[in-house]
Chains A and B, each alone.
Chain A
């Protein structure tokens, strides 16, 4: 069974600090997505990573994908309070019927303290 694990599950950090969220998955895939979710809201797309070695950056967030290690990272630089949210990775995996399907990670709940 495909598993997608994120760590940490909870992260409390001071403003201005750096930190990395990890997303490990258990099957072959070269498509991975990062989403942000605010409480009670839907999922907002952050990054689309479609190949080994892909790196994307937007503001204080940078995501990367290592398909050989089955690992993606979301790095936060100089955190600000507005980044407080839950972050999900989603692995797009090909099932037996030949269809791509998302499997979501467990989520990382980030709280940035002023």
Chain B
């Protein structure tokens, strides 16, 4: 399968715990995006990378959130000290350059108890 993959698919955690998600983009795609989607809403942009450089972060991305893409391939999104409001689907997408179609992964559904 050469699409975007994400792990884990589901994560249940207790409030205050840290969680980390992984995204593997389509191999030749240099751009990688993270979105958050809450129930009944469209995806909201969180951050994106061009190769290993994180070029923009949304105001939605509080200081408890950090994302990396160390070698310009896979990316991780970490949430520290999770809160119930962090419960959402976290989607990763990749594209070949700016202005091209983004392809989405299956998402990681986070539930914070």
Contact assessment for A102 and B91 in the assembled complex, using a CB-CB cutoff below 8 Å: no
How far is B93's CA from A101's CA once the two chains are assembled, in angstroms? 12
Stretch with Cβ within 8 A of B (4 or more), from A14-22, A38-46, A56-64, A70-78: A38-46
Closest chain-B Cβ to A99's Cβ sits at a distance in Å of 5
With contacts A42-B91, A43-B91, A92-B99 taken as known, whether A107 is within 8 angstroms of B104 at the C-beta atoms is no
Are A100 and B42 neighbours in the complex by a CB distance under 8 Å?
A: no
**Are A31 and B103 CB-contacts (below 8 A) given A43-B43, A88-B42, A104-B43?**
no
**Contact with A42, one of B42, B45, B56, B107 (Cβ below 8 angstroms):** B107
Given contacts A92-B99, A99-B56, A100-B98, contact A106 B42 (CB under 8 A): yes
Interface positions, chain A 24-45, Cβ under 8 Å from B, are 31, 33, 35, 40-45
Cα(A106)–Cα(B43), bound, Å: 9
| B109 CB–A CB distance under 8 Å | yes
Q: Is the CB of B41 within 8 A of A107?
A: yes
Q: How far is the CA of A107 from the CA of B39 in the complex (A)?
A: 11
| Interface hits, A66-105 → B, CB 8 Å | 88, 90, 92, 94, 97, 99-105
| Residues of chain A at the chain B interface (Cβ within 8 Å) | 4, 31, 33, 35, 40-45, 48, 88, 90, 92, 94, 97, 99-107
A33 vs B44: C-alpha distance when bound (angstroms): 15
Bound CA–CA A99/B106 (angstroms): 25
As a 0/1 sequence over residues 82 to 113 of chain B, the CB contacts with chain A under 8 angstroms (1 = contact) are 00000000010000001101111111010000
Inter-chain contact B101/A33, CB cutoff 8 Å: yes
A100 touches B99 (CB 8 A): yes
B40: shortest Cβ distance to chain A, in Å?
8
Given the complex of chains A and B, what is the CA–CA distance between A48 and B95 in angstroms? Answer: 13
- Jot down 12 A-B pairs with beta carbons below 8 A, ordered by A: A41-B106, A42-B105, A43-B43, A88-B42, A97-B55, A99-B55, A99-B98, A101-B48, A102-B102, A104-B44, A106-B41, A106-B42
- The closest CB in chain B to the CB of A92 belongs to B99
> Contact at B42–A107, with CB atoms within 8 Å?
yes
